[in-house]
Structure 1
């Protein structure tokens, strides 16, 4: 088994024509989270969402697009994967942080990866900065980065006006 070493980070930034409340709800409500989380080709089903420090978010990540289903099968990975993270910090409409359980990769000892989301209103826009830990390998870091870019495209489309 491979274990994770001390991570470095990757940062994603977006500006949305939205209110702080609209963006905050995407991170802290069942309907909001299910509406965008996961790369294109995946959907999520939230089972528990307790948005407070120490609170848990439990969900299933489900491959739905035919090409995604084919990739998952070829990689020997399940089509639905239970996932969770624990909120470590919440400052309403400003900042949240969480530890995501990385316990779904065959042959890799489970570990956690931290993420921080910062929101800042500027006029009628919201600047969202997401900083995530890198994964245990360059391959999985690239996969994670591609996944983040993909799921952020969902938000880009959502906030086009």
Structure 2
């Protein structure tokens, strides 16, 4: 299985970035791609614990895309934590159960957080999804999220 990788360096401490990745307030401040909002419903930060959140399209362009693709404007997403090693590593599976005509499946994301001279390097590695189109959508969404994270921490 192929993976995609995104890497960014932020002018923030590993502890600050860990907090943004692992608290409801932190997640809600940056997690959603542009044009969407996120509301955390459950966060149990331990291996086997779940993150459950609702992502809602709010901007006209995203609303039109979702409607045109036959997707609901709001989707509940579930992630199950596999590895929680504060503040250096977070791994979780995501349940892809919202794609019309595709049986639900899990895919893995691993986040590495490490101090570097310029701040903190965050590396996100994601399993490929069921086809190239959805893998590219995932990569574009996660790239946008990482950009949003940079706006929150100012770096």
- Into which bin does the TM-score normalised by the smaller protein fall? over 0.9
Q: Hey, what does 1:36 align to over in structure 2?
A: 30
Q: Offset at 1:124?
A: 5.5
Structure 1 residue 142 corresponds to structure 2 residue 133: no
In the TM superposition, what is the alpha-carbon distance from 1:112 to its structure 2 partner? 0.2
- Structure 1 runs of 4+ with >4 Å offset: none
- Listed as ranges, the matches of 1:47-66 within 5 Å are 47-66=41-60
> Is 1:116 the equivalent of 2:116?
no
Q: Take 1:144 and 1:123, find their aligned partners in 2: how far apart are those partners?
A: 30
Structure 2 length-normalised TM? 0.96
Matched residue pairs, number?
155
Match of 2:16 among 16, 22, 29: 22
Q: CA RMSD in A?
A: 1.0
The answer to whether residue 145 in structure 2 is matched with residue 154 in structure 1 is no
2: CA distance between counterparts of 1:137 and 1:38?
22
TM-score (norm 1): 0.93
Quote the residue 1:3 is aligned against: none
Runs of 5+ unmatched residues, structure 2? none
